Amino acid sequence: MSDPAAQPGAPTGGATDIPEAGEKSIAAEVKQRVPSRVVSLASTPDRILLRLNNPGGLSAFLSTLNYTLYLLAYLSVKTAPLQARLYGLLNRFTGSPPSGTITAGTAGDSRIIALASLFSSTRVTLRLFGLLPMYAWFRQLLQGPKQGQDQILYATSFTQCSLYITFQFLENVALLTDHAVLPERYTERYLVKSPAPGAKATAKIYLWAYRAWFAGLLCDVVRLAREAQIESGKRSSRTEKDVSTTSADEEVDKKWWADAVVPAAWTPVALQFTTEGGLAWFNLGIMGACGALAGLSRTASLWAETA
């Protein structure tokens, strides 16, 4: 499950507004005495951590890592027979004793799935505070469209914000109910009386939360279609093209296609979570691949913005 991407109003200066070191500071002394190559290598992890500190950067990174782990767990299970044959051939050529048969559900696979589940739970817990930036976004939208802003794009943003707030509110209610923080008497009419083994009594609340998220995701499709229509109109009205215009068009197209990957990748996952009983063809591998692709696209975009 992706995290709503929009976080207007969140502080952005934490990773960039860092003062330069003074001439007599320890940092300045280190730079003078240590070779520049060593300083560059030592500062690489620091730069990575600071770039992850941008709004949405950490959540995008965790989402990508989470679904990548799901994909790795699925591939590990599916390739277990092939791994067993390769180990058998290796043992035959090296003369080493067989190391045992590799089967699906090994301890390694279980640990990968356990780690992926831990990341998933962490992301859901962090989203308990997701209503705060959404409220800031909603307040911003209540001021009306900006000067020159397309009315359809404004209405789409307003609708998407409302749907994401609905999603986040319902997910928070379900999570707090699961952990007995919110008394069940407040949600008892929406709880499943006798859930299936391993299922949650709040499954119905999660279902409607994910449906609101999917509807908000579809707003991205409307936005992208409108942006393409507006851009097409601008280009058709031009009388001539120069190199700078062509370069700008290529950048716009590149960003548009990168944005289009996100809803396209999330759609199979959304259909799985918003359909009662799920999809027959859906599995952990598809979920991992789709989530990793969507998260990677967003992570790459945020990473480029903080370069």
Least confident interval from 104-108, 253-257, 276-280, 299-303: 104-108
What pLDDT, on a 0 to 100 scale, did the predictor assign at position 192? 83
Q: pLDDT-based confidence at 169, cuts 50/70/90?
A: very high
Instruction: Choose between 257 and 106: higher pLDDT.
Output: 257
Q: What is the 3-state secondary structure (H, E, C) of the chain?
A: CCCCCCCCCCCCCCCCCCCCCCCCCHHHHHHHHCCHHHHHHHHHHHHHHHHHCCCCHHHHHHHHHHHHHHHHHHHHHHCHHHHHHHHHHHHHHHCCCCCCCCCCCCHHHHHHHHHHHHHHHHHHHHHHHCHHHHHHHHHHHHCCCCCCCCHHHHHHHHHHHHHHHHHHHHHHHHHHHHCCCCCHHHCHHHCCCCCCCCCCCCHHHHHHHHHHHHHHHHHHHHHHHHHHHHHHHHHHCCCCCCHHHHHHHHHHHHHHHHHHHHHHHHHHHHHHHHCCCCCCCCCHHHHHHHHHHHHHHHHHHHHHHCC
Phi-psi region of 21 (alpha: psi -120 to 50; beta: other; left: phi over 0): beta
What pLDDT, on a 0 to 100 scale, did the predictor assign at position 242? 63
CA atoms of 182 and 186, how far apart (whole Å) = 7
Decide if 63 contacts 123 (C-beta within 8 A).
yes
State the chain's mean pLDDT as an integer.
Answer: 78
Vertex 64: Cα angle to 62 and 67 (nearest 5): 105
Q: pLDDT-based confidence at 17, cuts 50/70/90?
A: very low
What pLDDT, on a 0 to 100 scale, did the predictor assign at position 185? 87
What pLDDT, on a 0 to 100 scale, did the predictor assign at position 265? 93
The neighbour count for residue 100, using CB atoms within 10 Å, is 9
Least confident interval from 48-62, 218-232, 246-260, 270-284: 48-62
Decide if 294 contacts 266 (C-beta within 8 A).
yes
What pLDDT, on a 0 to 100 scale, did the predictor assign at position 12? 33
CA-only gyration radius of the chain, Å:
24
Residues 6+ apart with CB under 8 A from 280: none
Sign for the CA dihedral angle at 195, 196, 199, 205 comes to negative
Instruction: Choose between 224 and 279: higher pLDDT.
Output: 224
CA atoms of 149 and 266, how far apart (whole Å) = 28
What pLDDT, on a 0 to 100 scale, did the predictor assign at position 159? 97
Of 120, 144, 167, 151, residue with least CA distance to 6: 167
Residues 6+ apart with CB under 8 A from 192: 199, 200, 201, 202, 203, 204
What pLDDT, on a 0 to 100 scale, did the predictor assign at position 11? 34
Q: Each residue of 205-264: pLDDT tens digit?
A: 999 999 999 999 999 999 999 999 999 988 888 776 665 677 888 889 988 998 999 999
At residue 34, does pLDDT exceed 60?
A: no
What pLDDT, on a 0 to 100 scale, did the predictor assign at position 286? 92
CA atoms of 228 and 42, how far apart (whole Å) = 44
Six-digit token string for 255: 């960003």
Domain ranges for the chain: 1-16+24-129+285-307
Least confident interval from 8-17, 56-65, 103-112, 247-256: 8-17
At residue 6, does pLDDT exceed 60?
A: no
Q: pLDDT-based confidence at 56, cuts 50/70/90?
A: low
Least confident interval from 78-87, 129-138, 225-234, 274-283: 78-87
Is the whole model's pTM more than 0.85, yes or no?
A: no
Decide if 173 contacts 188 (C-beta within 8 A).
no
At residue 51, does pLDDT exceed 60?
A: no
At residue 165, does pLDDT exceed 70?
A: yes
What pLDDT, on a 0 to 100 scale, did the predictor assign at position 9? 33
